[in-house]
Structure formats: structure tokens, C-alpha cells
């Protein structure tokens, strides 16, 4: 089934994708404004179900790599991500039938819309993370053992490069991250092209429409004076793990990532206790009084306690009243192979995964 996204859907996507960003993927704010305007001007974004893809369909997989804090300072031109798709088409010698997100989390959920607006190809209702992860190899396509190369990278200064071969997915991350850092810790990328068959087998299906649904539930709760945090938990099978006030954020942009720790002092029933959240672009590990209560690949979402609006690792600041929500990762990301890519050890923690909603 093909669905046409309207202006309301675009607004809802911004809210839902930001929740699924688990702190990362970049604040959708700027790209949302951009696509909101394009939608208001009558642009129709065509969203197609992955099951409707021909096995041989050629799908471009897009994201902007980099450190979220930089993305707040450098307004992204949608033509950059469209150009990344074009560079890939030139390199591979054939055009694309559709475009999809690498990660549905945060600003990166808008990348296929931005590419679609300029290339006039439909958007596949899927991504390769079901959330946001910090590194390029942390995808369902890597877990599926698909070919990691080529990757096209575009910087608006006019730097364009293609990583044409790598020995491992991690080396694709390393090579493309090195270029991303050199261009200012932000670059538009078109990842290895995927066939329709590969997207159907290994993509996270319907994640775009789920993000829109999640945003719509938040909107309805806000309008109906219900609790948006409860609406998110209900729609995404999540649980509130903690509520409190952010009392400290230690944050630095390093190695092309935004890294650090945020501390939340408990309020109400959690009064007197403290949660620490480690992050590398995304929230990776949550500790309550030194006990690990949630880790990747499970989703750790920090939300404004009143509005349900997600709080990113780059926007978290002292004094915010927050609800910490945990959501179990889909089974695809919990196999032993998957954990080599997206488990706590893959992020440098000597921890087994902890499901916040066991």
C-alpha cells in the first residue's frame, strides 16, 4: 500500500522519530522545518511498504553522519543528501527506484524525505536500525551479513568521495567517519545500495509509519490533556524507569561523536536517588545508583516529563524535568551476531545487555 504523507504526518514524524532516536540521530528540528515548508508548498512524499518492492528494485539508503551538536549549528541543505544519492548512482551506473533511512531516529528520519523531494522517488517505509545507533556498522544490514560497500559521502563545500571497498563493516565506519570528521563532523551519505529483496529480508519494516504513529499519539495526548509519556509507553510497549531533573551534563564532541554523561536526580517516588546516562550520540547505558537498569540495544528514551518531547544528547541541559522510558529492542537486534554490532560490548562496555522491560 502506498501512502502519501501530508503536512500532519511530517509534523508527527518529527516527534516520533525523535523519541526513537534514543537521544541521537540529531534533533529533527531544522530538517523538520524544512520539510514542513516543502509539504506546505504541496510536495507529496510517497511512502511505500517494503513488501511491495520488486526483489530487483534498487533502494538508496541515506543518512547524515556526524556529531549531533554540529548538526544543530550547520543547517543541512536537502540537496546534499540528494547529491549523495546521485554520486552513488553515477558510481554504480544505475539510478534508484526508492530511498530509505539508515536510521529512523531523530533528524535522520528526514533524510529520505529530503532526498525524495529533490530526486522525486518514493520513500520505503523501513530503516536499518529501528532507532538510532552511533556507528555506521550498527545496522540490520550488517547483522544480515550484506555487503558494506560502496558508500558515497558529500560535503556542501564540494567534497565528494566514495569508499569503494572495505574488509569489514567496521572499516566502512572508520573510513567514512574519518572523512566526516575532516569535513567538520557532519556529512551526507548514501550507504551501500540495497535490493528490494535485501530490504524485505533485513530492513526494519514499517518503522517510518510507526514513528509517525508514535508522534500522532503524543499529539493526541497533548490535545486531550492526557499524559504524552504514558501515550508513548502504550504505543511503543515502553516503561517509565525513572523521573527526575537533569542536574549535570558532561558533553564533548570528540572523534566525530558527541560523548558524555548526563545525571538525573530523582523526583517524586524516585526522590533521593540518581540515574546516570552514558552517551555516544545516543543514550547507551542507564545506571540507577550504580546498578545498570538499561543498555543498548534496548531503547533508552529521555523525554520531557510534561510534553513527552524527546530530549537529545545535544539538547539535554540542567533543570529539565524528565521521564526516562525504556523500550525492549526487537528480536532482530538481540541475536549473538546482532550483539556483536549493537550490544554494550560493541560500544566499549564490559556489560551484557540489560532489558529495561523484562
**Nearer to its own copies (CB atom), residue 17 or residue 154:** 154
Tell whether residue 33 is a contact of its own copies (CB under 8 A).
no
**Which range of residues in 159-167, 203-211, 240-248, 350-358 is near its own copies by CB under 8 A?**
159-167
**Which range of residues in 51-59, 163-171, 297-305, 337-345 is near its own copies by CB under 8 A?**
163-171
**Which range of residues in 15-23, 63-71, 95-103, 171-179 is near its own copies by CB under 8 A?**
171-179
Q: Which of residues 50-109 bind its own copies (CB under 8 A)?
A: 87, 91
Tell whether residue 165 is a contact of its own copies (CB under 8 A).
yes
The answer to whether the beta carbons of residues 315 and 73 sit under 8 Å apart is no
Buried b (16+ CB within 10 A) or exposed e, 283-315: bbbbbbeeebbbbbbbbbbbbebeebbbbbbbb
The CA angle 295-298-303, to the nearest 5 degrees, is 90
The CA angle 199-201-206, to the nearest 5 degrees, is 60
Tell whether residue 162 is a contact of its own copies (CB under 8 A).
yes
Q: Work out how close the CB of 96 gets to its own copies at its nearest, in angstroms, rounded to a whole number.
A: 18
- Work out the number of other CB atoms within 10 angstroms of the CB of residue 120: 10
Specify the DSSP class assigned to residue 1.
-
**Nearer to its own copies (CB atom), residue 91 or residue 213:** 91
**Nearer to its own copies (CB atom), residue 51 or residue 164:** 164
Tell whether residue 40 is a contact of its own copies (CB under 8 A).
no
For its own copies, the binding residue among 2, 164, 273, 335 (CB under 8 A) is 164
Residue 341: Cβ-neighbour burial (10 angstroms; 0-12, 13-18, 19+): buried
Q: Work out how close the CB of 186 gets to its own copies at its nearest, in angstroms, rounded to a whole number.
A: 14
Q: What is the C-alpha to C-alpha distance for residues 109 and 314, in angstroms, rounded to an integer?
A: 17
Q: Which residues bind its own copies (CB under 8 A)?
A: 87, 91, 157-167, 171, 174-175, 177-179, 181-183
Amino acid at each position: 500500500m502506498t501512502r502519501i504523507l501530508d503536512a500532519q504526518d511530517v509534523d508527527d514524524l518529527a516527534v516520533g522519530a525523535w523519541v526513537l532516536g534514543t537521544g541521537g540521530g540529531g534533533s529533527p528540528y531544522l530538517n523538520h522545518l524544512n520539510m514542513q515548508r516543502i509539504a506546505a508548498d504541496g510536495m507529496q512524499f510517497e511512502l511505500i511498504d517494503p513488501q511491495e518492492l520488486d526483489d530487483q528494485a534498487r533502494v538508496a539508503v541515506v543518512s547524515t553522519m556526524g556529531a549531533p551538536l554540529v548538526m544543530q549549528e550547520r543547517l543541512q541543505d536537502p540537496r546534499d543528501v540528494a547529491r549523495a544519492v546521485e554520486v552513488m548512482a553515477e558510481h554504480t551506473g544505475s539510478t534508484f527506484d526508492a530511498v530509505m533511512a539508515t536510521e529512523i531516529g531523530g533528524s535522520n528520519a528526514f533524510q529520505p524525505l529530503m532526498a525524495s523531494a529533490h530526486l522525486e522517488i518514493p520513500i520505503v517505509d523501513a530503516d536499518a536500525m529501528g532507532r538510532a545507533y552511533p556507528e555506521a556498522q550498527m545496522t540490520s544490514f550488517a547483522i544480515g551479513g550484506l555487503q558494506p560497500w560502496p558508500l558515497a559521502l558529500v560535503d556542501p563545500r564540494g567534497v565528494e568521495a566514495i569508499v569503494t571497498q572495505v574488509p569489514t563493516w567496521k572499516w566502512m565506519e572508520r573510513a567514512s567517519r574519518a572523512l566526516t570528521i575532516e569535513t567538520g563532523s557532519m556529512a551526507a551519505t548514501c550507504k551501500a545500495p540495497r535490493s528490494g529483496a535485501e530490504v524485505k529480508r533485513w530492513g526494519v519494516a514499517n518503522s517510518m509509519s510507526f514513528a509517525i504513529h508514535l508522534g500522532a499519539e503524543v499529539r493526541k495526548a497533548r490535545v486531550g490533556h492526557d499524559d504524552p509519556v504514558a501515550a508513548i509507553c502504550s504505543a511503543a510497549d515502553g516503561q517509565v524507569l525513572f523521573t527526575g531533573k537533569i542536574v549535570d551534563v558532561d558533553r564533548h564532541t570528540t572523534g566525530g561523536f558527541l560523548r558524555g554523561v548526563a545525571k538525573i536526580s530523582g523526583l517524586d517516588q524516585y526522590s533521593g536517588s540518581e540515574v546516570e546516562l552514558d552517551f555516544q550520540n545516543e543514550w547507551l547505558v542507564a545506571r540507577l545508583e550504580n546498578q545498570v537498569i538499561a543498555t543498548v540495544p534496548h531503547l533508552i528514551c529521555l523525554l520531557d516529563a510534561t510534553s513527552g518531547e524527546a530530549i537529545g544528547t545535544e539538547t539535554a541541559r540542567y533543570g529539565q524535568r524528565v521521564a526516562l522510558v525504556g523500550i525492549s529492542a526487537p528480536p532482530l537486534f538481540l541475536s549473538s551476531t546482532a550483539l556483536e554490532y549493537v550490544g554494550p560490548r560493541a560500544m566499549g562496555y564490559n556489560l551484557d545487555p540489560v532489558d529495561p522491560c523484562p
